[in-house]
Every structure is written in C-alpha cells, then in structure tokens.
Structure 1
C-alpha cells in the first residue's frame, strides 16, 4: 500500500484547515451565546446579516448562494424567522414563486440589538492583533474559499 505524500506547504495548509474547523466551531458557540438573549442563534443571525448587508432584497436561493450555504437549510431558517415576524416575504417581480425576503421592523430591532452586543466583544477579540495581521488572515482564508469553490464547481460539471 502506497502512502500519498504532501509538500510542506500542503502540511501547513492542513494545519490551517484544522484550525479553521476548530475556530468555526468555537465561533458558532460564541455567537450562539452572544445572541441567545435576542432569540437568535448564530445561523439566524447570519441570515439576518445577509439580508441587512445585501444591496437589494433577495430570494432565499440567492441568500444561500451568498452565504455558501445549502438552500434548503436557509429556507428552513427563513421560515422560522418569518414565523417570529423577523422577516417577511414580498412578491418578486422577476419570479412568481421565489419571493423576496425582507427584514421587518422587529427583525431590524433584533438585529441591531445583536450588533450592539457584538461590537464591544469583537473589539476585545481584536486586541493584540494588528490590522495587517487581520487583513492577511482574511486574504488567505478568502483565497482558500475561492479555490474550494472552484474545485467544488468543477466537480459539479458534467
């Protein structure tokens, strides 16, 4: 049986990926605790944020695409947010069945409360890190994301 060998760069990238997995899990737990007082989870907060930060109202499929998430999972969470009057559905002039998801006034208040709790906490997390370190980490993770998206897209091609 032959063992595949990796380069030192690949080994370092593997360590980064493992650290990203761990950081992602901790980030979700941290986020869940941070926004729980507002009736949110990290997943719900993330979707509210995607709605707030988009330049225009979008259907669920577009929100899922922007988040790199599964459309069905996003639909389930959006439905839950709708039941709690945090989002509403509006007619989509370009598609009869794919309604646009918009934030309600209540959704805006909940999102703003979550951001107000987040801001001092993220400032504390940023302490001891230089702006350049943060930007470099972002650049590396964004490049990795892009390469992974390309690879997954290539696998989907017939």
Structure 2
C-alpha cells in the first residue's frame, strides 16, 4: 500500500462514526482515571477523598437532595447516598428539611465542609492554570465545550424524541 493510500485509509478511519465513538469512549475513560488521580491528590491534604469533594462540590451553591446530586454528577443515587451519609457522619455536611419534598432531605455542606473544599482551591487553581497554559485558553475552552456537547448528545440518546445536538 502506498503512503498516500495508507494516509487516505487512516484519514477515513478517523472519520468513521463507529471509530470516533470508540476513540471518544476510550479517551474519556482514560481522562476519568486521570481526573480521579489528580482529584485524590488535590483532596487528600484537605482531609477529603475525590468522591467526598465531588459530592460537597455539587452542593456548595445550593443544597440538593441526594437524587439531584446523582443526576448532576451522572452517577447512581445509591453511591451518592453512601458518600453523603459519610460526609454527615464526619461533620462535613448535614441534612436539612426540603420544603418541596418532606421525605427527600436536602444535603448541604457545613462550615467545616466548606473550609475543607476551600483548602483545595490553591491546588485546583494551579492545575487549571497549568492546563490553560499547556493547551492555550481558547483551546481549553473549546475542549470543555466539546466534552459538554458530547455529554448532552449522550443524554439525548436516552430520549427517543430528542433532536441531535448541533453546534451553536
């Protein structure tokens, strides 16, 4: 096979939707692992795990029911419930009444939980700055938007009436 024929074949393989899906999935799985390692490194000095940080982070702006945290994070309610119960037991979060639903209490961070998350901010800012410098700010923003669009498109797959997600 000539170099140009090989290039054309490889180029077309890179545009094949099934190949793109496989490559995207493998890359996201790898990214997930990389983010988990970095998150553990950032959270450890604050006395948190990546999972604890993730759940606390989901309720920093406003208290949410466990099911709402699970939806926002794209994980099961049961795994969020386990972490939420640990956070409450450790004094990093608390359950408060939910005016919209008597049985589904809201989870919110305590002052101690907010302080723990705040300890992560300098390392988080350093990593964000490093990535922005490595990729360039525009490319970093473009990458994040592409990942968000991919997530939206996968959400839409579950909805038979959904239209394909298109770039704005």
User: What's the TM-score, normalizing by structure 1?
Assistant: 0.84
In structure 2, the partner of 1:86 is 92
What is the alpha-carbon distance in structure 1 between the residues aligned to residue 121 and residue 141 of structure 2? Answer: 21
User: What's the TM-score, normalizing by structure 2?
Assistant: 0.80
Deviations 1:6-28 (A, max 9, x none): 96243234222211111110110
In structure 2, the partner of 1:19 is 27
1:105 maps onto 2:117 in alignment: no
Residue correspondence of structure 1 range 1-158 to structure 2 within 5 A:
8-53=16-61, 56-154=62-160
What is the alpha-carbon distance in structure 1 between the residues aligned to residue 159 and residue 47 of structure 2? Answer: 35
Relative to structure 1, the CA distance from residue 108 to residue 72 in structure 2 (aligned partners, 3 Å threshold; closer, same or farther) is same
What RMSD in Å do the two structures reach over aligned CA positions?
A: 1.9
Q: CA deviation at 1:49?
A: 0.9
Query: Which runs of 5 or more residues in structure 2 are unaligned?
Result: 1-12, 161-168
Structure with the largest fraction of strand:
1
Secondary structure of the corresponding residue to residue 96 of structure 2: strand
What is the alpha-carbon distance in structure 2 between the residues aligned to residue 6 and residue 129 of structure 1? Answer: 22
Larger Rg: 2
Secondary structure of the corresponding residue to residue 104 of structure 2: strand
| Count of residues paired in the alignment | 148
Query: Which runs of 5 or more residues in structure 1 are unaligned?
Result: none
